[in-house]
């Protein structure tokens, strides 16, 4: 009831929608009631100034909320779609779906950049920076939809625009190497990229044994040994994935 009253208030306040909001509603496939939320969701921190920061702010808080909702909805979906799979499989598949590259691709497809508000000093020629901004913006939009219309609307948006375009069987059966899986896990959790360090190099050149350590979140998580550096890195990544999986299980049981 409270949400209905709030929506009625905003519908009356913004009865005269301008072309920008009409276009955004058509792009997202949602009805917007609280336009202030979406103004914030589309404002990059570089666009903030002393007058607006306290009143409107940027998308950062909504991004935080949207990231959590995206993860929860995708997790729920995978839990239902793969009833016989264990936690490790579901975690890996979720990381493949909600990775930053995927969010950026969806944001570009929705042309969210056309609606974003940037500050004058942001380098729009920096593709890596813009890709990061677009991924963040997609999550902030999900947060705004959730606050404006509820979990059903945000779930529908995620199912349509995130899950709808994914070939789930192919993604689930994709044969990735352990380094790729560890990289995806780090990206999904917004950790710094894994760092591989050659700890030892023993033996003559034709029979050399490499020992490689991998560091994740500032700690050594795995060690691998092999006759080539690449294989040793794969072994270290494999051990790191097992270690992080056990750590996650302990956190769930605590």
pLDDT digits over 181-235, tens only?
888 888 888 899 999 999 999 888 777 899 999 999 999 999 999 888 988 998 8
Q: Do 89 and 150 belong together in one domain?
A: yes
Give the Cβ contact number of residue 111 at 10 Å.
13
What does the pLDDT read at residue 25? 92
CATH of the domain at 158: 1.10.1520.10
What does the pLDDT read at residue 101? 83
Q: Do 197 and 168 belong together in one domain?
A: no
| Total number of domains constituting the chain | 2
CATH of the domain at 233: 3.30.160.20
Instruction: Find, among 113, 112, 78, 102, the residue nearest to 188 by Cα.
Output: 102
What does the pLDDT read at residue 12? 43
d(CA 4, CA 195): 50
Q: Do 6 and 33 belong together in one domain?
A: yes
pTM value is 0.66
213 noted as active-site residue: no
Stretch among 74-78, 100-104, 213-217 having the lowest mean pLDDT: 100-104
Domain span holding position 18: 2-172
Catalytic residue from among 63, 139, 148, 233: 139
Helical segments of 14-86, H only = 19-28, 35-41, 60-81
Q: Do 30 and 146 belong together in one domain?
A: yes
Q: Identify the domain boundary among 172, 203, 231.
A: 172
Q: Do 20 and 141 belong together in one domain?
A: yes
Q: Do 145 and 223 belong together in one domain?
A: no
Which residues lie closer than 8 Å to 170 by C-beta, 6 or more apart? none
Phi, psi values for residue 34, rounded to 5°: -100, 95
Q: Identify the domain boundary among 113, 141, 172.
A: 172
184 noted as active-site residue: no
Q: Do 27 and 42 belong together in one domain?
A: yes
**Can you tell me the mean pLDDT for 159-164?**
93
Q: Do 21 and 143 belong together in one domain?
A: yes
Catalytic residue from among 50, 60, 63, 67: 67
């Amino acid at each position: 009831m409270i949400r209905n009253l709030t929506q009625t208030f905003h519908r009356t306040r913004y009865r005269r929608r301008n072309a920008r909001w009409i276009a955004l509603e058509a792009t997202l496939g949602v009805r917007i009631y609280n336009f202030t939320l979406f103004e914030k969701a589309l404002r990059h921190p570089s666009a903030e100034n002393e007058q607006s920061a306290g009143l409107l702010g940027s998308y950062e808080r909504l991004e935080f909320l949207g990231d959590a909702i995206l993860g929860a909805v995708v997790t729920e979906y995978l839990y239902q779609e793969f009833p016989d799979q264990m936690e490790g499989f579901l975690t890996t598949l979720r990381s493949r779906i909600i990775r930053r590259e995927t969010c950026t691709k969806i944001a570009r497809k929705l042309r969210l950049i056309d609606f974003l508000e940037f500050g004058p000093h942001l380098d729009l020629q920096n593709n890596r920076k813009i890709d990061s901004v677009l991924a963040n913006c997609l999550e902030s939009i999900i947060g705004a939809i959730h606050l404006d219309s509820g979990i059903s609307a945000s779930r529908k948006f995620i199912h349509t625009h995130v899950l709808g375009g994914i070939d789930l069987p192919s993604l689930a059966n994709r044969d990735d190497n352990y380094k790729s899986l560890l990289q995806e896990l780090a990206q999904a959790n917004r950790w710094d990229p894994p760092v591989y360090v050659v700890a030892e190099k023993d033996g003559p050149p034709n029979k050399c044994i490499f020992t490689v350590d991998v560091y994740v979140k500032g700690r050594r998580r795995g060690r691998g040994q092999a006759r080539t550096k690449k294989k040793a890195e794969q072994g270290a990544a494999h051990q790191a994935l097992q270690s992080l999986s056990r750590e996650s299980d302990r956190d769930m049981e605590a």
